[in-house]
Amino acid sequence: MGIFPFLVVAWVVVAGLYGIVTSRDLIHQIVCLIVVQSSTYVLLLGVGYVTGGAAPYFFDIPLHTKAVDPVVQALALTDVVVEAAVTALLLSFAIQAQKRFGTLDPTELAEFKG
């Protein structure tokens, strides 16, 4: 496996960024931002992986079993929550942009002044 998961991270980031840069629609742009952010899940869980490690839940496995890093998993949870909050807010901004200016195209929106 080596560095394969980390290459996936790079691919997901760049694919998402490409979408953000070339997007012609705010909703599409928000989805691209979610794509970029989902790369952090792969990165966090990849960093904490221990070869042959079990999930860090010692309910039905004996204590001191080799397990993966739970700290990055907790961080991934925070990540998901923040993403949900950010997405919700951005979507409401998109709704207001559509209402005020009648368009969701970022290029056209740039021509309007607040």
Residue 22 binds other proteins (CB under 8 A): yes
Q: Which residues pair with 54 in a beta bridge?
A: 67
Q: Shortest distance, CB of residue 28 to other proteins, whole angstroms?
A: 14
Q: How far apart are CA 26 and CA 20, in angstroms?
A: 9
Under DSSP, the state recorded for 49 is -
* Stretch 71-110 residues interacting with other proteins (CB under 8 A): 71-74, 77-78, 80-82, 84-86, 88-89, 91-93, 95-96, 99
List the one residue from 27, 36, 49, 109 that touches other proteins (CB under 8 A): 49
Under DSSP, the state recorded for 103 is -
List the one residue from 12, 30, 48, 104 that touches other proteins (CB under 8 A): 48
Q: How far apart are CA 21 and CA 96, in angstroms?
A: 21
Q: Shortest distance, CB of residue 45 to other proteins, whole angstroms?
A: 10
Whole-number Cα distances in Å, 76 to 6, 30, 72, 92, 114: 16, 20, 6, 24, 36
Q: How far apart are CA 69 and CA 87, in angstroms?
A: 28
Q: How far apart are CA 94 and CA 26, in angstroms?
A: 6
Residue 56 binds other proteins (CB under 8 A): yes
Residue 27 binds other proteins (CB under 8 A): no
| Interacting residues with other proteins (CB under 8 A) | 1-6, 10, 13-14, 17-18, 21-22, 46, 48-51, 53, 55-59, 63-64, 67-74, 77-78, 80-82, 84-86, 88-89, 91-93, 95-96, 99
